[in-house]
Amino acid sequence: MSEIAFYQAMKDAISEEMDRDEKVYLIGEDVVGGVYPHTAGLIDKFGSDRIIDAPLAENLIVGSSIGAALAGYRPICDMMEADFILIAIDEISKAGQWRFMHGGVVQVPMVIIGGNGGYHGVANDHAKMVYGNLLHIPGIKIAVPSNAYDAKGLLKTAIRDNNPVIYFWHKDCFMDKGEVPDEEYTIPFGEARIVREGSDVTLVAVQKMVSMAEKVAQQLEGSISIEIIDPRTLIPLDMETILRSIEKTMRLVIVDEANARGGFASELSARVMEQGFDLLDAPVVRVCGLDYPIPGGFLETVVLPSEERIRAGIEEAMARNL
Amino acid sequence: MALNKAEKIQLYRNLVRARAYDRLFAGLMTRGKLQGFYHRAEGGEAPGVGAFAFVREDDYVWPHFRGHAVPHMLSMGIDVRPFLAEHLGRKAGMCKGLAAYHPFSPENNLYGWCGSVGFLWHVTAGYAMAAKWNGKKQIVMASVGDGGTNRGLMHEALIVAKKWNLPVVWIVENNGLAIFVPNEDVYDVDIADIARGYGIKAEVIDGQDVLAVAEAAKEAVHRARDGKGPTFIECKTARFYEHDMGIPDLYRNVPRSKEEIEKLRERDPIVICRGKLLAEHILTEEMIEDIEEQAQFEVAEAEAFAEASPRPDPSLINPSTLYAD
């Protein structure tokens, strides 16, 4: 085991997979210089044919990767900020439909990575959680690591996957250090991690919300026993682990930094209604960003979830009895 | 680049075949049999037939939707019977009945298609990146209508095609109208001028003359194969009917007149090619009749093939069709 930063875990994953498979290449915004450090220096190892600075053209980065993927390559598209992924949402939608529309014959192995998340005061264009926008698209997968170990294992799986995968790293988790094995490992998609066991209420938390939920769970220790689940991938989603937890706790709070409307929390909530209604003793509670653009500066904290709001959400779930 | 006698005859034959298929498709659409919609090729067959004649089997291709890519596929030697089956929504379709109208033939490196106009630019740039990396002198042949050149995507693709010296030939099938919107409402320049501005070799040619298209395309293909980079060819062509069957045939908001269409028909690509090849004594009246007869036989046989196929099995809609292992 070594203790390394989240970004270093990503960099190791990219480097190892590029060593392993010469069809893998990286194309994106400022990947040669590495405006975010997870790609810095890779140019020295892999050269300019495999580490490519694209023009500032998100549609090109993703669209050309569809072509190259259909032709047998395995592109990693580095979009810098996750917000910029939305510029290429039509290309992502096409990547997701391509195999299906053509009879399930061809495949589009590509990874799109971008940094999401707020809490840095940089406002809506550099702080959104855009996986909610993408959840609606058939044919793609979505990975949302919350720590260095998952960052590496999920990215390696993403690169080996034969489908379009959108991989989000969180800008507030990016420098966090964590234990990562020295030996080779991957993490299968669709396997949630039980971050903390508990018996009174289940918290499903995504990315930065995992550590925030852990803090709240510690604060409430002795009064409320909280089970925290990190889904790690949103498509596919490990409903089995989530439902098993609700079977025990009978209460669910979903903590998602994204704004609530039409997002992951709404989707999970609906699925729990469909598949686990009888297990619940209280209505599902969503603790999410408010349905506003994310303000820059100090007012950001009004819109984004906080420890206080998570605590309030837990109390709400505990107070109700169906 | 000069064409030989056999190539010229084949180009003429493919124009005639393309027209026969176009009329078959139009008839099937009128009878409510064709799935989706149909964008008639008649009058605009020459760019597809001429440009796609010189691609190798391992080259990457993206055909324009005019005539639903049948002119292009015929020119490449692709069996279009499964495409017709697809268009009738049948199991024997190129996409097993899931796409209605997507040309798809992975064995010919036609890795699919999509219905968003102008989507080709980046995908074909990606094909060209792959072709360059493969080191097998593969090239990309792609075509698009004039409307599809309006998107910003074109500019992004032109930037990298030049800078990265990509082996790609882009054909613009400019029939003067994007649905109802005339070229002159969009551009004050030829579309080729835009590519030229990026330093790309670009030309404007007579898109009603299949021989001119083929000569230009043949040269461009050689250039790309020789590592000399992208070429952009704007073919000025025509559309004898409305954009897609069933909508009005307007110029802006005014119906195109019979006289206007008659004038366009004076430059029918089949008539032009036939005239030239007769004058060059490459074709005889007997050969012309023979080619026409064979084309009629071919489309009748294709229709029978497609009609014989059952509708697709709904079990096709399952996770393994959506996701690869």
Domains of chain A: 2-180 (3.40.50.970), 193-319 (3.40.50.920)
Residues 67-86 of A with CB under 8 A from B: 67-73, 75
Return the pLDDT at A293: 98
Burial of B53 (0-12, 13-18, 19+ CB in 10 A): buried
Best probe of the B interface among A51, A53, A60, A235, by most B CBs < 10 A, is A60
Minimal Cα–Cα distance from A72 to chain B, Å? 8
Let me know if A102 is a catalytic residue. Answer: no
Which pLDDT score is estimated for A321? 82
Q: Which two tokens stand for residue A174?
A: 């990016």
Q: Using CB atoms within 10 A of its CB, is residue B281 exposed (0-12), middle (13-18) or buried (19+)?
A: exposed
The per-residue pLDDT string of chain B (325 residues; one tens digit each, 9 = 90 and over) reads 899 999 999 999 999 999 999 999 999 999 999 999 999 999 999 999 999 999 999 999 999 999 999 999 999 999 999 999 999 999 999 999 999 999 999 999 999 999 999 999 999 999 999 999 999 999 999 999 999 999 999 999 999 999 999 999 999 999 999 999 999 999 999 999 999 999 999 999 999 999 999 999 999 999 999 999 999 999 999 999 999 999 999 999 999 999 999 999 999 999 999 999 999 999 999 999 999 999 999 999 999 999 999 999 999 999 999 999 9
Q: Indicate if A17 belongs to the active site.
A: no
Within 10 angstroms of residue A298's Cβ, the number of other Cβ atoms is: 8
Q: The whole model's pTM is what?
A: 0.98
Chain A interface includes B99 (CB < 8 A):
yes
DSSP-assigned beta bridge partners for residue A28: A53, A78
Cβ-proximal residues to B27 (8 Å cutoff; 6+ apart), any chain:
none
Catalytic residue among A126, A170, A267, A300: A126
Q: What are phi and psi of A294, to 5 degrees?
A: -80, 120
Tokens 């605590």, located at residue: A311
Give B28 to chain A, closest Cα distance, Å.
Answer: 23
Q: Write the DSSP assignment of B194-260 as a string of letters.
A: HHHHTT-EEEEEETT-HHHHHHHHHHHHHHHHTT---EEEEEE---SS-SSTTS--EETTEEPPHHH
Q: How far is CA B76 from CA A23, B107, B185, B226, in A?
A: 28, 12, 34, 21
What pLDDT score does B191 carry? 98
pLDDT tens, position by position, A161-200: 999 999 999 999 999 999 999 999 999 999 999 999 999 9
Contacts of A107 in chain B (CB under 8 A): 324
pLDDT at B185: 98
What does DSSP say about strands A201-205 and A226-230: parallel, antiparallel, or unpaired? parallel
Q: CB atoms < 10 A from the CB of A269, how many?
A: 19
Integer Cα distance of B170 and B125 in angstroms: 10
Instruction: Report CB contact under 8 Å: B122, A62.
Output: yes
The verdict on B122 touching A (C-beta cutoff 8 Å) is yes
pLDDT score for B28? 98
- For the record, the structure tokens of B76 come out as 């490449």
Helices (H), B2-66: 5-30, 46-51
Mean pLDDT of A71-90: 98
Q: Who contacts B276 (Cβ-Cβ below 8 Å, separation ≥6)? A: B209, B211
Record the tokens describing residue B16, joined without a space: 């005639």
B3 and B215 Cβ atoms separated by less than 8 Å: yes
Distance from CA of B6 to the nearest CA of A (A): 32
Phi, psi of A200 (to 5 degrees): -95, -40
CA angle A282, A288, A291 (to 5 degrees): 120
Q: Tell me, what amino acid is at B285?
A: E
Question: Could you give the CA distance from residue A307 to residue B288 in angstroms, rounded to a whole number?
Answer: 82
Task: Tell me if A98 and B112 make a contact (CB, 8 A cut-off).
Answer: yes
A322, pLDDT greater than 80: no
Q: Convert the pLDDT of each residue in A278-320 to its tens digit.
A: 999 999 999 999 999 999 999 999 999 999 999 999 999 999 8
The dihedral of CA B195, B197, B199, B202: what is its sign? positive
Among B254, B230, B250, B234, residue whose Cα is nearest residue B242: B250
Query: Inter-chain contact A67–B320, Cβ cutoff 8 Å?
Result: no
- B96 and chain A: CB distance < 8 Å anywhere? yes
> What is the Cα gyration radius of chain A?
19
> B5-30 and B285-308 helices cross at what angle (nearest 10)?
40
Give the alpha-carbon dihedral of B49, B50, B56, B57, to 10 degrees. 0
Within 30-69 of B, beta carbons closer than 8 Å to A belong to: 60
Is A90 exposed, middle or buried (CB count within 10 Å of its CB: 0-12, 13-18, 19+)? middle
Q: pLDDT band for A32, please (50, 70, 90 cuts).
A: very high
Domain annotation for chain B: domains and CATH numbers = 5-322 (3.40.50.970)
Residues 6+ apart with CB under 8 A from A299: none
Q: What's CA B250's distance to the chain center, in Å?
A: 23
Identify the residue whose tokens are 């529309």: A101
Please state, in angstroms and rounded to a whole number, the distance separating the CA atoms of residues A48 and A53: 8
B178 φ, ψ (degrees, to nearest 5): -100, 100
Is A63 close to B121, i.e. CB distance below 8 A? yes
DSSP bridge partners of A286: A254
Buried residues in A150-160 as b, exposed as e (16+ CB within 10 A): bbbbbbbbbbb
Closest by Cα among A131, A129, A130, A139 to A94: A139
CA B71 to chain centre: 6
* Residues of A in Cβ contact (< 8 Å) with B99: 101-103
Please tell me the predicted confidence (pLDDT) of residue A320. 84
Sign of the alpha-carbon dihedral angle for B269, B274, B276, B282: positive
pLDDT the model gives residue B112: 95
Test B126 with A139 for CB contact under 8 angstroms. Answer: no
d(CA A147, CA A230): 10
Residues near A192 by beta carbon (within 8 Å), at least 6 away in sequence: A229, A230, A231, A232, A238, A241, A242
pLDDT value, residue B205: 98
What pLDDT, on the 0 to 100 scale, is given for residue B301? 98
Q: Closest to B130 (Cβ–Cβ): which among A73, A106, A163?
A: A73
